[in-house]
């Protein structure tokens, strides 16, 4: 596996707060790598160290084989969408982004052409001549993302890219990130675990500045892979017991329409698989479940990926929700 | 250290961008306004008595000779110039003590105070007085332009968009260059306006003398701005809050002078504290001897170099 980013024992302290504690993992080339953790876990700090905004107290980061302390050597190859960074309010969008591109060696004309093309990716081309101060919060967010996509970066760091975006724009951004995977390694931090699970193929979980786990998404979720299942009719108690006895099926829980147990109207079932056993083939295990259902005369109406990552995340962080700790990253 | 072509390109782009941003963000316009108001007020204070005098004389039907006007200006301006140059006590001593006759027929005051005589007698005195006041006052004004070179962008994290696209050093030096260019342009506008107005309204000095001395005055101001700009650049690289940066820059620039002047009352050597900034050497930019002028230029550049290097050292190492 080729490595795009190598993080080796990075530590960073802000006063009494240990923001990062010897964090280390590798990000494979051309992967979409998720970085999750509660507020204050150290995600933004880690991104800031990776981009050399912050100087690490210990350890080092290599991007494309170059120590980020020599960040100048990565000019044009590494870009970032930094969280909460503001553009100049009184300067037109086109001028600001074209200036960045001119620093990469483009002429004014080339730079402006590339900026327009990039703004088209995030649906802001009509706003090119407008000043940043006239844009909405969501538009400014998309502008920051366009800035990160500008040029032909090989590694893109996106810090909370979809926070504050409406669902349609968030979806558009996820699609764009997936398309860019063909030519770039993308690292995304997010509180939205469902989004990370859908988007990312690799994942690192941070908690209180420490790395809890870094691995391929499948490996992290396979011991408790959840799927949402809607059937043609409710299962009887006996049928549930039978299904639970199938190899690889760990649990089946009824889910009410309001999402709280079975007290309300039944919406479907949450099936938890365990694909971690040696030689376990997810397709075979899922196929066995469907056969049993069909044999019992029950038709599956819907079957989709559930919140496996959220379940694993809660397990690993001791029940802390992704956005559940007061923000301690203000200093980062 | 090798400087690549992209470095020059980045310095050029960043300095031009920053000078443009200074106008767009308002801080440049505020500085332009304050500098023009201050400079033109000084010019008004110096020029209006002369205009008034000439008007009065004309209304009384007297034709004032050029020599007479110049003499009156010189007499009125001499105390200001002497005070500015710090030669008051020395000259007073010369005027009150008996002196041997000068073989060239020069007065004791001229022999003991050739600097004032140069500024008032050999150069257009009106401009000399204006330049001396501007040399004293502009260091207080310059911080309005330079206080926010980095502070605001560090606080808003806007600088992070730039950090992956160029070296920190390029941002630091590029913004300083842009600020210096902007301040130089403002000084040129100010001195040009004053010289044109004085030349047009008061026909005392020849156009050539006015033009040459204006160029010298402009160059002196442009050079003097550099060390004070450098102090502000250093402060701005250290302090994230723009307002705090402005206050600290002003306190440093004024504090050094106040401490030296007040401190010497209690302890004589405290006066040397003024050399922490160019306060002690800056008037030599208008000295009659070129060696002094060049020495003052070198000192100003030296101060600027030291402050800039200290700021650069901090900026490239700090968390941004």
Section B297-304 average pLDDT: 97
Per-residue pLDDT reduced to its tens digit, B173-189? 999 999 999 999 999 99
Nearest CA in chain A to B5: A105
- pLDDT tops 80 at residue B107: no
- pLDDT tops 80 at residue A261: no
* ipTM higher than the 0.90 cut: no
Q: Which two tokens mark A160?
A: 């909370």
Whether B166 contacts chain A with CB within 8 A = yes
The overall average pLDDT reported for chain B is 86
User: What is the spatial distance between Cα A155 and Cα A77, in angstroms, rounded to a whole number?
Assistant: 6
The predicted structure's pLDDT at residue A330:
39
- Least confident window among A1-5, A137-141, A315-319, B151-155: A315-319
- Element counts in chain B: helices (H) and strands (E): 13, 0
The predicted structure's pLDDT at residue A113:
94
The residues near B70 (Cβ < 8 Å, ≥ 6 apart) are B125, B204
Task: Check B161 against A54: CB less than 8 A apart.
Answer: no
The predicted structure's pLDDT at residue B89:
47
Predicted confidence band at B14 (pLDDT cuts at 50, 70, 90)?
Answer: very high
Task: Check A74 against B317: CB less than 8 A apart.
Answer: no
Task: Check A147 against B6: CB less than 8 A apart.
Answer: no
Task: Check A78 against B317: CB less than 8 A apart.
Answer: no
- pLDDT tops 80 at residue B109: no
Predicted confidence band at B97 (pLDDT cuts at 50, 70, 90)?
Answer: low
Task: Check B13 against A103: CB less than 8 A apart.
Answer: yes
Question: Which residues of B fall within a CB distance of 8 Å from A80?
Answer: 160, 164
Task: Check B24 against A88: CB less than 8 A apart.
Answer: yes
Of B13, B167, B320, the CB nearest to A53: B320
Nearest CA in chain B to A86: B158
Per-residue pLDDT reduced to its tens digit, A10-25? 999 999 999 999 999 9
Instruction: List, as one string, the DSSP characters of A270-303.
Output: EEEE---STT--HHHHHHHHHHHHHHTT--EEEE
Q: Which of B13, B158, B148, B176 is nearest to A53 (CA)?
A: B158
Question: Which residues of B fall within a CB distance of 8 Å from A99?
Answer: 13, 17
Count other C-beta atoms under 10 Å from residue B59's C-beta.
Answer: 8
User: What is the spatial distance between Cα A217 and Cα B149, in angstroms, rounded to a whole number?
Assistant: 44
Whether B94 contacts chain A with CB within 8 A = no
DSSP H or E run through B290: helix B290-317
Q: Which of A178, A219, A182, A183 is nearest to A200 (CA)?
A: A178
Per-residue pLDDT reduced to its tens digit, A112-148? 999 999 999 888 999 999 999 899 888 898 899 999 9
Percent above pLDDT 70 for chain A:
92
Section A84-103 average pLDDT: 91
| Residues A97 and A118: beta-carbon distance below 8 Å | yes
Predicted confidence band at A329 (pLDDT cuts at 50, 70, 90)?
Answer: very low
| Residues A86 and B157: beta-carbon distance below 8 Å | yes
Q: From edge to edge, which strands make up the β-sheet containing A300-305?
A: A249-256, A266-273, A225-231, A300-305
Percent above pLDDT 90 for chain B:
58
User: What is the spatial distance between Cα A127 and Cα A132, in angstroms, rounded to a whole number?
Assistant: 9
Structural domain count, chain B: 1
- pLDDT tops 80 at residue B237: yes
The residues near B151 (Cβ < 8 Å, ≥ 6 apart) are B236, B239, B240, B241, B242, B244, B245
Section B155-181 average pLDDT: 93
Question: Which residues of A fall within a CB distance of 8 Å from B24?
Answer: 88, 90-91
Count other C-beta atoms under 10 Å from residue A141's C-beta.
Answer: 22
The predicted structure's pLDDT at residue B204:
80
Per-residue pLDDT reduced to its tens digit, B114-129? 888 888 888 888 899 8
| Residues B88 and B57: beta-carbon distance below 8 Å | no
Section B68-87 average pLDDT: 77
Task: Give which of B16, B18, B28, B161 to mutate to test A binding, by max A Cβ within 10 Å.
Answer: B161
Which is more confident, A196 or B314?
B314
Task: Check A100 against B161: CB less than 8 A apart.
Answer: yes
- Least confident window among A131-145, A192-206, A270-284, B285-299: A270-284
Q: Write down the pTM of the prediction.
A: 0.83
Q: Which of A150, A154, A153, A177 is nearest to A165 (CA)?
A: A177
Angle, vertex CA B11, rays to CA B6 and CA B13, nearest 5: 90
Instruction: List, as one string, the DSSP characters of A196-216.
Output: HHHH-SEEEEEETTEEEEEEE
- pLDDT tops 90 at residue B221: yes
Chain B (23-52) residues lying within 8 Å, Cβ to Cβ, of chain A:
24-26
Task: Check A75 against B165: CB less than 8 A apart.
Answer: yes
Domain that holds residue B51: 2-317
Sign of the four-CA dihedral A172, A177, A181, A184: positive
How far, in whole angstroms, is CA B142 from its chain's centroid? Answer: 9
Task: Check B164 against A75: CB less than 8 A apart.
Answer: yes
- pLDDT tops 50 at residue A325: no
């Amino acid at each position: 596996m080729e490595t795009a980013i190598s993080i080796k024992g990075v530590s960073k302290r802000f006063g009494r707060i240990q923001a990062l504690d010897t964090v280390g993992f590798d990000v494979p080339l051309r992967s979409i790598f998720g970085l999750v953790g509660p507020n204050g876990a150290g995600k933004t700090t880690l991104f800031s160290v990776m981009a050399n905004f912050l100087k690490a107290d210990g350890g080092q980061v290599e991007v494309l084989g170059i120590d980020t302390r020599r960040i100048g050597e990565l000019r044009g190859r590494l870009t970032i969408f930094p969280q909460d960074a503001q553009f100049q309010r009184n300067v037109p969008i086109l001028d600001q982004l074209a200036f960045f591109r001119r620093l990469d060696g483009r002429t004014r004309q080339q730079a402006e052409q590339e900026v327009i093309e990039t703004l088209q990716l995030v649906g802001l081309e009509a706003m090119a001549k407008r000043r940043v101060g006239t844009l909405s919060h969501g538009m400014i967010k998309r502008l920051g993302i366009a800035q990160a996509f500008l040029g032909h970066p090989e590694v893109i760091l996106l810090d909370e890219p979809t926070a504050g975006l409406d669902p349609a724009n968030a979806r558009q951004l996820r699609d764009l990130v997936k398309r860019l995977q063909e030519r770039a390694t993308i690292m995304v931090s997010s509180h939205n675990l469902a989004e990370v699970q859908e988007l990312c193929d690799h994942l690192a979980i941070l908690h209180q500045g420490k790395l809890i786990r870094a691995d391929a998404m499948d490996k992290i979720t396979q011991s408790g892979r959840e799927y949402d299942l809607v059937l043609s009719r409710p299962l009887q108690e006996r049928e549930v017991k039978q299904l639970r006895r199938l190899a690889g099926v760990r649990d089946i829980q009824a889910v009410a329409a309001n999402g709280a147990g079975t007290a309300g109207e039944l919406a479907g079932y949450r099936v938890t698989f365990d694909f971690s056993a040696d030689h376990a083939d997810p397709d075979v295990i899922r196929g066995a479940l469907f056969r049993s259902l069909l044999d019992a005369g029950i038709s599956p109406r819907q079957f989709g990926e559930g919140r496996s990552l959220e379940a694993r995340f809660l397990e690993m962080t001791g029940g802390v929700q992704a956005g559940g700790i007061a923000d301690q990253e203000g200093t980062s | 250290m090798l400087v690549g072509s992209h470095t020059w390109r980045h310095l050029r782009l960043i300095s031009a961008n920053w000078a443009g941003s200074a106008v767009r963000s308002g801080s440049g316009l505020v500085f332009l306004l304050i500098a023009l108001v201050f400079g033109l007020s000084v010019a008004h204070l110096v020029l209006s008595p002369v205009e008034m005098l000439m008007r009065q004389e004309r209304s009384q039907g007297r034709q004032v000779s050029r020599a007479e006007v110049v003499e009156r200006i010189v007499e009125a301006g001499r105390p200001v110039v002497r005070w500015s140059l710090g030669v008051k006590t020395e000259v007073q001593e010369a005027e009150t003590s008996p002196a041997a006759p000068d073989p060239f027929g020069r007065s004791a005051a001229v022999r003991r105070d050739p600097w004032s005589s140069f500024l008032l007698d050999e150069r257009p005195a009106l401009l000399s007085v204006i330049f001396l006041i501007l040399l004293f006052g502009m260091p207080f004004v310059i911080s309005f332009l330079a206080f926010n070179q980095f502070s605001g962008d560090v606080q808003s994290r806007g600088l992070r968009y730039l950090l992956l696209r160029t070296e920190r050093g390029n941002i630091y030096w590029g913004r300083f260059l842009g600020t210096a260019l902007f301040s130089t342009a403002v000084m040129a506008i100010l001195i040009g306006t004053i010289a044109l107005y004085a030349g047009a309204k008061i026909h005392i000095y020849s156009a050539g003398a006015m033009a040459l001395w204006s160029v010298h005055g402009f160059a002196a101001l442009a050079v003097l701005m550099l060390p004070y700009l450098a102090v502000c650049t250093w402060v701005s690289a250290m302090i994230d809050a723009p307002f705090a940066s402005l206050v600290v820059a002003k306190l440093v620039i004024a504090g050094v002078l106040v401490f030296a002047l007040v401190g010497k009352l209690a302890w004589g050597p405290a006066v040397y504290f003024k050399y922490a900034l160019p306060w002690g050497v800056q008037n030599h930019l208008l000295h009659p001897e070129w060696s002094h002028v060049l020495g003052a230029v070198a000192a100003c550049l030296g101060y600027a170099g030291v402050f800039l290097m200290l700021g650069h050292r901090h900026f490239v190492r700090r968390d941004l």
